[in-house]
Structure 1
Amino acid sequence: MTMPNKEIDTLIVGAGQAGVAMSEHLSNLDIPHLVLERHRIAERWRSERWDSLVANGPAWHDRFPGLEFDDVDPDGFPSKERIAQYFETYARKFNAPVRTGVEVKKVERNNGRPGFTIETSEGVIEANRVVAATGPFQRPVIPPIAPDDSNLTQIHSSEYRNPDQLPEGAVLVVGAGSSGVQIADELQRSGRDVYLSVGPHHRPPRAYRGRDFCWWLGVLGQWDVEAMAPGTEHVTIAVSGARGGHTVDFRRLARQGVTLVGRTRHFDHGRVTFESDLAENIALGDENYLSLLDAADDYIASNGLDLPPEPDARVIPSSPTCITHPILELGLAESGISSIVWATGFSVDYRWLNVDTFDDNGKPQHQRGVSREPGIYFLGLPWLSRRGSSFIWGVWHDAKHIADHIATQRKYLAYQDAAQRHGETSTQQHLNSDTGTHSQLQDIHMARGN
């Protein structure tokens, strides 16, 4: 059914965690709005993640304030299906005005009048404001070094579902953030030979002295850090909630049977070369890991907390041979590699948003989600306002800030409308007064016989 032309105050594009959070805050402020989602609520959790994925944060932490996971232990890690169900339930909780199955194709600013015209798959909408709540996982990125080899199966991590999906043979997983590590681990446990290409990374402890790392980052104020440390723009985070949650340990993965290699450098005539940076990258992860333990110990001592010591957490085992004597080159056929999984992240895709708020690289320009194009907002992006912005709870707080900004702008416009109406009324009263005076003068002249 075609959606009729309509006007709305605020249009939210996307009904994932960002869109649902935005809708809740606008609803609380009685701001008329509509949420358009081209598929289903929380679609990427459903169809663009592997089968065994669970949340990387515990249920007590990775949720919105208004609803708990009633069937998941607070310290447990909900499955991807349960998370998608959670957002559906949350949207029903406040009757979010979500229209699914509607794709937004183009947004353009109106000329000579306020607001935007939005072309959708079901008609045209006029809106005073638009919130792009499509998040950071919009376009899978496979780097240009990917080989043009019909003998290789190559997929992005967003396409990976389970080991049975891949043909027989060894697998090279490129990228050692949370996705790459968990996929490599699952493939190796299924009986595959796995090579894991490891770049610079942080690897926080899953838990330390009885508290999850999410708690530690909270009390230490690290979730609220407003900008990345210099030089960490391309550093991934390796953390996992799989199998009840555990600290990612690359040495353990190597002892388990995963062959670690450095960053993937080049493919040429059936061979792949790697950078000689594996040991350096592992050391960087160790440094990050130990720094959080140090900060946690200092916090415990300063605040007199009764949390049990955990000296074993500081034991860093010796490095296996694949780290001390790294492989720098492999023949794909000789190594039995038949598949590559590119766990190399995503880029944003705002081709539908035809407004002046992007830099030369297509990156949105904004301050805490408020773009330089009045009336356009961004939500759900990493580091939108702080480190926690792309996490479930963090996007909820960012949405509140944007909703408050929208409410303030509406008040300014309401004042302008009232002032204009008042000015029109005053002008009319003045004209009426002038007309009355002119009539009185005419009467006087007539009475005098002039």
Structure 2
Amino acid sequence: MSTQTPTANPPFPEEHFSVAVIGGGQAGLSMSYYLKQRGIDHVVLEKRSVTHTWREQRWDAFSLVTPNWQCALPGYPYRGDDPHGFMKKEEIVAWLDGFVRHVDAPVREGVSVTRVAPRPKGGFLVQTSTGQLAGSLSADQVVIASGGYHTPIVPRMAERLPASIVQIQSSEYRNAAALPKGAVLVVGSGQSGAQIAEDLHLSGRDVVLAVGEAPRCARFYRGRDVVDWLADMKYYDMPVEEHPLREGVRDNTNHYVTGRDGGRDIDLRKFASEGMQLYGALEDFADGALRFKPNLGANLDSADDTYNRINASIDRFIAQNGIDAPSGEPYRAVWTPQQERTALDLDASGIGSIVWCIGFRPDFSWIDLPIFNGRGYPGHTRGVTAQEGLYFLGLPWLHTWGSGRFSGVARDAAYLAERIAAPARFDARAA
């Protein structure tokens, strides 16, 4: 917890708002939409520019992995002519630009929040830094809508790799041509890692992929997108407390699949049969060699088991409801590793660059309130914390699968806006 004390004499008078929304992505803008509907004065603070993540932290060939019909921000659903397609990066940005205009939120861009703390007279003090200027404002209630992906994860062993190896994180990757000549090591096989490996592979680059424990799912099964089936099965309406893993589902790695070129499976085994080199999880770098865990086979098998298990649940749903659908069959491996390779000589490999795709850590160190668990994650129920007047929005599985996505953030924002507008009503329900 921070030991800072509030600025005694801020360089400009303290402003006060009923609500301060921190973060100007789709979550913060969705919150603003509902607050405006209720006539609640507020401000949205964004340290960079609104929806900047979609413009600045996606590779050139990026496309949504969920179908366009799931893009349902408040008052602004997808209205294009391809609801079952997958918007590409430039289309996503254009759609979000329209949402920004639609909401017309009271945003202050380029304002970084450095501290949120209780205010002696009630409510919250929000300290900010804008370039060389620093100040503060106060708010009766605060919504943290800054997401949960803040600090890129890069292992300390990266410091020991030769300076000649170009290292970037997944959010910095743009295209294969931007990387130096030579093979590319992609570390991690979650959504970003698998899709970046595919992008490099399709461009003709030699790819070495360190495969982690990420699961995978089919793009299409029995005549429809798997997302359509799961929607009919009400999976996307399941609240976190009803999920078999409960809050543990928030730690799950996303299934890898792609919306590229109209959507398809990502089959790492197929890539291997075409020349991509697959290894187990990267463990260390020592004596000039990359060291991998002997778990490639197990990780591939586990991903396929998840793939088949999801499809089997669809089979049961079809049978139980008497739905006329094309037949389906389990996935069968098209390639199997003959042995577990646990070392790769870096010089001999020809690797000239590494793309780290092992995720992000949340960083809420600037929130000076006792609401976090032992891993620095906020404790909350549907975004409502134990600190009266403090809320979170846009986190993965905040309430449902779609909470951190275009499909579910509107429902969460509407719920919190109602809570903010009439907290006594909710207190009565709890009682």
1:354 aligns with 2:368: yes
SS in 1 for 2:160: coil
Distance 1:325 1:292 in 2: 28
Aligned residue in 2 for 1:222: 235
Aligned residues: 407
Residue identity matched to 2:245 = A
Among candidates 231, 239, 251, match of residue 269 of structure 2:
251
Superimposed CA distance per residue, residues 325-359 of structure 1 (whole angstroms, 9 cap, x where no aligned partner): 23211001101111111101011112222222123
- Which residue in 1 is equivalent to 2:385? 371
- 1:103 offset after TM fit, Å? 2.0
1:184 Cα deviation after fit: 0.7
Given the alignment, which residue of 17, 32, 39 partners 1:30? Answer: 39
What one-letter code is carried by the residue in structure 2 that aligns with 1:356? P
- Equivalent residue for 2:187? 174
Partners of 1:20 and 1:85 in 2: how far apart? 16
- Equivalent position amino acid for 1:179 in 2: S
Q: Where does residue 358 of structure 2 map in the other structure?
A: 344
Q: How does 1:107-186 map to 2 (within 5 A)?
A: 107-111=116-120, 113-121=121-129, 123-149=135-161, 150-186=163-199
Other structure's SS at 1:363 match: coil
Deviations 1:8-66 (A, max 9, x none): 10110111111111112222222221111122211011111211111111111133253
Greater C-alpha radius of gyration: 1
Q: Which whole-Å CA distance do the structure 2 matches of 1:3 and 1:42 have between them?
A: 28
Q: Structure 1 residues 3 and 91 mapped into 2: Cα distance closer, same or farther (>3 Å)?
A: farther
SS in 2 for 1:349: coil
Distance in 2 between residues matched to 1:283 and 1:373, nearest whole Å = 44
> Is the CA contact (8 Å cut-off) linking 2:117 and 2:367 kept in structure 1?
yes
Return 127-136 or 88-97, whichever deviates more.
88-97
The CA distance in 1 between the partners of 2:233 and 2:306, in whole Å, is 14
Query: Which whole-Å deviations, capped at 9, do the CAs of 1:211-230 have from their partners, x for residues lacking one?
Result: 22222222223221514638
Letter in 1 for 2:193: G
The answer as to 2:112 corresponding to 1:103 is yes
CA–CA distance in structure 1, aligned partners of residues 312 and 191 of structure 2: 23
The residue number in structure 2 matching 1:380 is 394
- RMSD of Structure 2 on Structure 1 (CA): 2.2
**Do the aligned partners of 2:31 and 2:414 also contact (CA within 8 Å) in 1?**
yes
CA shift for structure 1 position 263: 0.7
> 5+ residue gaps in structure 2?
1-10
- The CA deviation string for residues 178-234 of structure 1, in whole angstroms up to 9 with x for no partner, is 100111111122221111111112211111122222222222232215146388745
Secondary structure of the 1:135 match is coil
Counterpart of 1:329 in structure 2: which amino acid? Answer: A
The 4+ residue runs of structure 1 with deviation greater than 4 A are: 410-413
SS at match of 1:187: helix
Q: Is the 8 A contact 1:332 1:338 kept in 2?
A: no
Paired AA for residue 143 in structure 2: V
Q: Structure 1: how far apart are the matches of 2:211 and 2:23? A: 33
> Which amino acid letter does the alignment assign opposite residue 337 of structure 1?
I
1:63 aligns with 2:77: no
Q: 1:228 to 1:248 in 2, by over 3 A?
A: farther
Out of 399, 414, 419, the position equivalent to 1:400 is 414
Provide the C-alpha distance between the structure 1 equivalents of 2:79 and 2:12, rounded to a whole number of angstroms: 36
The residue type paired with residue 121 of structure 1 is S
Deviations 1:361-386 (A, max 9, x none): 32212111111222111111112123
Q: How does 1:405-424 map to 2 (within 5 A)?
A: 405-409=419-423
Gaps of 5+ in 1: 414-450
TM-score by length of 1: 0.85
Give the structure 1 partner of residue 290 of structure 2: 272
Identity over the aligned pairs, expressed in percent? 38
- Kindly provide the CA deviation profile for residues 126-161 of structure 1, in whole angstroms up to 9, marking residues without a partner as x: 101111101122111112332422121111101111
Q: Measured at CA, do residues 163 and 412 of structure 1 come closer, stay the same or move farther in structure 2, by a change above 3 Å?
A: closer
Moved more, 290-299 or 225-234: 225-234
1:326 aligns with 2:340: yes
Which of 101-110 and 8-17 deviates more? Answer: 101-110
The answer to whether the Cα contact below 8 Å between 2:304 and 2:331 also exists between their aligned partners in 1 is no
